[in-house]
Structure 1
């Protein structure tokens, strides 16, 4: 085992629970109520904890919001592994927000497992060592002579064994060891295995409760009315007819919104339909075509801003190049389309505020409500049910602050539920953007200069340290921001989701134009980045090359098969290297995706089942949006506000996906997002292989190649 020193202040507390039991409290977990199970060791008014009852049952609190990425299962697996318990005797409970005891209580950036790997291992290992010390003291043997397995301590020489439940009270009285031995990965019994999602049964049977299911005594349902177009302002509204609708209790207005409160969701939404509102008519409201035209005008002018990155001298390199290749790629707006509509419960009272609902950033929600209402954060409690999808939409807290304000104005507990149209029509989209590339090559076809010039709505549309940065001697990244009233925000794998498409498509284009195999071309660039690196990079050339070689082996790249067309792409995001190959076949006069191969280097895989699901879901999501995803605007008004006009990939269209992970003992890296970015590029490159045509804008359905 590797010795690891626990040196965090107040990192672990050990107490004896009332009635017996060992409680390990962690400074990143929050306070919670006891399990509904009638445990022998009752726990009251404790901070966040892992509890071992005298009957051997272990309760582990799940600190991060669960939005379908599997952290409610994966994080407890880490603790259970080092604690050396029987997974079947684990109970997992979702924690609430506690900013004093949690660190990074967020569902975003594919960071939950990455940030929790070391502290959760240390916590489990510390508990295990204390139980070993208790058994050794009882048997009067050297703790080093004892071992653990499945919730028991063993002494091989004497043949003695004792369950954790029989040791917890004695262990609680012992000092907390300052140095603990972490397991060698070869001894893992839980980590790396396929474990079913902890909530599976509850989900399948319908017993699990989402935020939209929240019920409270005296609660009203609220429907929200936002401006129909971005940039419009509320001038006047008439609620007389709305108040005549059955079940409608109140109508309130704040900022630029109107809310109707009623006894049920249906009654609230029917009341909202009866509202007559006048909105300002701004002649400057822009349509999708306006954005596209303005983007090109901006890129046609020399940039006045400092480059995001500048290696070498691209002007000289392009002037002396044997060949210059140029291309332009267009990204549309995309909504998030979470399966569970946006909703949140708020109860604003004189003595404090209760917030409860699906949110990816509970601390931000608490802080924003505190600022809005002028209420101290310590008086605002935030609870988190399982969330029916986030994809970045619930990183923002606009729907939370709306619920809080409505509750305050109505003087009642409120469950605010948006319609699908409210969310798709209300923004926080993946930004629209335009990406222009130029590449310079020498006489031997080597890439000597690269220029990325892009503009996007509200935000930096570039990833300046991503491949091929570091592999090209002359490289410049100019990324500009276009101000717009359209609200944008993080969308699954922010920036990476389109950068991977544009850059990997362009690299494929360059390789074909210089008559090089696209995979060989990239491997040569990675070798250049390894042997003669230029500036800072965010990827590891060896690990990057490793996934490329693995996926080409999986897919039989370079071994032609009649009627099968392959496209390759790779990308690094959230500390994870991913390479993918899409296979197309012909179905009549159309193309069909038959299979996708994917190789991933994400370090140690905690839950193999969950990891495969995350990658497969990301790939299908990436392919679906590349094929069909587009939200357009007409004078600031969204044209697609529900699924009757917004196309998503269907189950029958989802291809077979084969995923393999590079096995190593590196610490875990991100996984919820990295599978998505290369998918669109691999598909576009496969389309080129099948048709000889380059698709440089999404969605691909407009090409006519797909049904």
Structure 2
């Protein structure tokens, strides 16, 4: 039997009061100082014999290939094109010569932006800039490389721009030295260094000389628009390999003497392996061994079919400790949270008490079920473990934390574990967790040979860490002119992000992480609930709960239920005030012109009819981390089947580097939001989902989706992330559309089948 993994320490749990008080030292953060590299952090890139490391984000080979180093996980969002495009634009490279390489673990690639969003506490907010600095220090010193929350471009835009500018200056200095001229007279266009006259030189010819020069105190950036790559719809760098099949995902890895494993874990909760039939699998051709741990068992065979067959014959039995999870128990615990002692007011403006006292209050209750990830690629990892250490190939959004967890499970130093981060076949946040990598490594150690572990779709659904379920009690006071004078949102929901961090950074088991967050009210659980409208008196209260269902990082996170509650209730108030829904919103958006512009644009493009009965039109707006969007949908019910004939989205997300990829991400978010509205959730009974086949989840099909139009607004603002922005908008827009179609207000997600 394989040795049980050691319990992980609390060294990565987060930022607390003590950490803030003792966390001194030299300021670091993600500091990309091009004149003098940070003394503590040097690039740790490997270079081939013909390659020159220019800085932490760039290598150039002798043939002139521009090799851009990307620390972010490609999950289909185009990050391995957009970040290189920023660097290549500032460098003056020929796009045809640009290649991408995954970054090694290093403090230089820490995502301090996502860390600040995720780890902010009352203590850090109390300290202001010092609190942000403390989180940045923690993230940097921990080499906290994270992908998620649409933070890749906002986090790394300036770093890649500066990396390209620094390389351009160094190359121009080297060329100028050869030509005996001032370097300021040189420039790079389409990958060629020129002196502005007749002399030209390829980048690769001079790269090794360029790194010997110094950079000026002020780094000059490119001026003008001639030959610029930024803002162009350049082709994605990963498309050719994905078309011809040469692109390697985790399941494509092949190693000498490799075998295949299938895994079975218990039901949701604190489940232990109680027994299995060890003799029945012996008759399966190709079966090799059963590897068991306290909470799972894996069958290993010479092929995946044999591993699956052997596991079925082993028929593992699990014992569940504690109350089983069901949809009814989830709803009951959420409702019970409203009367608990852990509720807390997290956002407030003005004074609600005198507004609500003695007034006629309009109130409604809303509900959102837990939404599954359902990525195209279930979890998969390949591992090789020997006396020298371990190697693991897997897609992960947190490679440093995944490596540490694997090392901890094997009883090795993190330096003895090499993790090869691969692109993911979709994720939506699911690959923030690392359990498949740990399991593959333990099985490989037990087998003494490389092992590829592939979760089945059934296992992927049962063990999913879905988005949080939530109940909301919304109340408002309307003034005589129809404006909202008071607004109160009470939300009962667990915090999925708190649970995720406890698992991936603290090593907590899923049920432990869920229980540990049960009494903590946090803004992460009600993100997106602060209304974007000019309401003089409003508040948002969070009532935490442990619903028994482990939850995880998702696309949009709490904004998925936050936008549904807010935009559905705003639409309801508009009808109660006898006002047209768009005008009702516009009158409160005077202080938010970017959102108002998006709303009016979407309405104009979609031919907004005022939400009249029978129109089947609905609208919704939302803003998120510096990006603004509005959506108009046309929806109808055909019996029990929801169809959406048209979606129009107007988005202001700043000056996007690659507008076409931005549109792709917005379109993907719209379809993700549609799936969330239609059925990307399952009922639970006895700690198991009652259905696990994708075909039975009422997910949108091509015939359910009509015309999709995305308008990117012109903007000179800094580019914002767009991966999460559109997803929260679709469900409330559809619910508002169906009200005009049926006259019935739908207040629960998924919408189909609700009353």
TM-score band by shorter chain is: 0.7 to 0.9
| Cα deviation code 1:587-630 (max 9, x no counterpart) | 79976422111111211211122111100011011112202222
Shift in Å, 1:45: 9.8
Which segment is superposed worse, 408-417 or 457-466?
457-466
2:408 equivalent to 1:364: no
Q: Does 1:280 align with 2:313?
A: no
Q: CA deviation at 1:124?
A: 0.4
Match of 1:352 in 2: 389
Displacement, 1:197? 1.6
Describe the SS at the equivalent of 1:136. Answer: helix
Match of 2:235 in 1: 196
* Superposition map of 1:1-400 within 5 A: 11-12=33-34, 31-32=45-46, 34=48, 42-43=50-51, 50-93=58-101, 95-104=102-111, 105-156=145-196, 158-184=197-223, 186-187=225-226, 189-280=228-319, 284-299=323-338, 301=339, 304-321=342-359, 323-400=360-437
Closer/same/farther in 2, CA of residues 13 and 316 from structure 1, 3 Å limit? closer
Distance 1:562 1:331, change over 3 A: closer
Closer/same/farther in 2, CA of residues 46 and 598 from structure 1, 3 Å limit: closer
User: Separation in 2 of the partners of 1:152 and 1:232?
Assistant: 62
Describe the shift of the 1:280–1:167 C-alpha distance in structure 2 as closer, same or farther (beyond 3 A). closer
- Answer whether contact 1:249 1:261 (CA < 8 A) is retained: yes
Partner of residue 660, structure 1: 711
Tell me if the contact between 2:337 and 2:544 (Cα under 8 Å) persists in the aligned partners.
Answer: no
My pick for the range that moved more, 569-578 or 390-399, is 569-578
How far does the alpha carbon of each residue in 1:381-428 deviate from its partner, in whole angstroms, 9 at most, with x for none?
111222101101110112222222222333332211110000101131
Q: Distance in 1 between matches of 2:205 and 2:401?
A: 42
Who is 1:22 aligned against? none
- Identify the residue that residue 499 of structure 1 maps to in structure 2: 562
Residue pair 2:53, 2:60 contacting (<8 A) in 1 also:
no
- State which of 723, 726, 732 in structure 2 corresponds to 1:672: 723
Check whether the contact 2:469–2:494 (CA below 8 A) recurs between aligned residues: yes
Q: What secondary structure sits across from 2:477 in the alignment?
A: strand
Structure 1 residue matching 2:720: 3-state secondary structure: coil
Following TM superposition, by how much is the alpha carbon of 1:309 offset from its aligned partner in structure 2, in angstroms?
2.3
Does structure 1 residue 684 correspond to structure 2 residue 696? no
In structure 2, the CA distance between the partners of 1:285 and 1:465, relative to structure 1 (3 Å rule), is closer
TM-score after normalising by structure 2? 0.82
* Runs of at least 5 residues in structure 2 that lack an aligned partner in the other structure: 1-27, 112-144, 497-521
**How far apart are the structure 2 equivalents of 1:503 and 1:436?**
11
1:480 equivalent in structure 2: 543
Q: CA RMSD in A?
A: 2.9
Q: Encode CA deviations 1:281-307: one digit per residue, 9 max, x unaligned.
A: 6573132122223323433x3755332
8 Å contact from structure 2 (residues 528, 563) kept in 1: no
**Counterpart-to-counterpart distance in 2, 1:576 and 1:275:** 51
Q: Quick one: distance in 1 between partners of 2:321 and 2:476?
A: 42
Distance across 1 between alignment mates of 2:728 and 2:685: 28
TM-score scaled to structure 1, two decimals?
A: 0.88
Where do 1:367-516 residues align within 5 Å? 367-459=404-496, 462-463=525-526, 466-468=529-531, 471-516=534-579
* Alpha-carbon separation, structure 1, partners of 2:656 and 2:479: 42
Report the 3-state secondary structure (helix = DSSP H, G, I; strand = E; otherwise coil) of the residue aligned with 2:356: helix
Q: Partners in 1 of 2:532 and 2:675 — Cα distance? A: 28
Give me the whole-angstrom Cα distance separating, in 1, the residues matched to 2:549 and 2:184.
63
8 Å CA contact retained: 1:584, 1:593: yes
Give how far 1:554 is off.
Answer: 2.1
Deviation at 1:29, TM superposition (A): 6.8
Deviation digits for residues 24-64 of structure 1 (CA, Å, limit 9, x no counterpart): xx979763564xxxxxx623999855233343332222321
Change (3 A) 1:556 1:631: same
CA contact (8 A) 1:30 1:96 kept: no
CA contact (8 A) 1:31 1:46 kept: no
In 2, are the aligned partners of 1:239 and 1:276 still within 8 Å (CA)? no
1:138-160 CA-to-partner distances (Å, cap 9, x unmatched) read 4444433333311223334x444
1:474 is displaced (CA, Å) by 2.5
The separation in 2 between residues aligned to 1:576 and 1:440, in whole angstroms, is 29
1:663 match: secondary structure: coil
* Alpha-carbon offset, residue 458 of structure 1: 5.0
Query: Equivalences for 1:633-652 in 2 at 5 Å?
Result: 633-652=684-703
> Could you list the runs of 5+ residues in structure 1 that have no partner in the other structure?
1-5, 16-25, 35-40, 531-540
Once the two structures are superposed, residues 461-485 of structure 1 have per-residue CA deviations (whole angstroms, 9 ceiling, x without a partner) of 7436744167333222221222143
Q: State the match for 2:670 in structure 1.
A: 619
Aligned to 1:37: none
Distance 2:44 2:723 in 1: 24
Per-residue CA deviation, residues 418-453 of structure 1 (Å, 9 max, x unaligned), is 100001011311122211111112333221221111
The alpha-carbon deviation at position 558 of structure 1 amounts to 4.4
SS where residue 179 of structure 1 aligns? coil
Give the 3-state SS of the residue equivalent to 1:437 in structure 2: strand
Post-superposition CA distance 1:475-531 (Å, at most 9, x none) = 22221222143211112110111211111011111111112222222222232xx3x
Question: CA separation in 2, counterparts of 1:274 and 1:651?
Answer: 38
